[in-house]
Amino acid sequence: MSKVPTLCIKFNRYSEAGICPICGQWYDAHDGPELFLEATWSPVCPRCGEQYAPALMKTLEQLTNWDWKRELDPDLLPQDDKQ
């Protein structure tokens, strides 16, 4: 247990549930920004994220709150700005 896992945020289009590669707990990944073990598409559970990459978890939180879905489908953009 000497190696600290390298985590990264990637845009999840695969949406696979799976076993967290670090702790072995089941984790349901979501579409959109997710935390992964680097060089894999294995989603890392939030608990391991907090433990090994708290800064990335904070960033992920902001990315998740951000309306990233608009990027996927430009037609969803509102025609006019409500103001």
Residues at the interface with Zn ion (CB under 5 A): 20, 22-23, 45, 48
Q: Which is nearer to Zn ion, 48 or 53 (by Cβ)?
A: 48
Can you tell me whether residue 30 is helix, strand or coil? Answer: coil
Query: How near is the Cβ of 20 to Zn ion at its closest, in Å?
Result: 3
Residues 6+ apart with CB under 8 A from 1: none
Find out whether 34 and 43 touch, Cβ atoms under 8 Å: yes
Query: How near is the Cβ of 27 to Zn ion at its closest, in Å?
Result: 7
Please identify which residue in the block is written with the tokens 């390298």: 6
Query: How near is the Cβ of 62 to Zn ion at its closest, in Å?
Result: 21
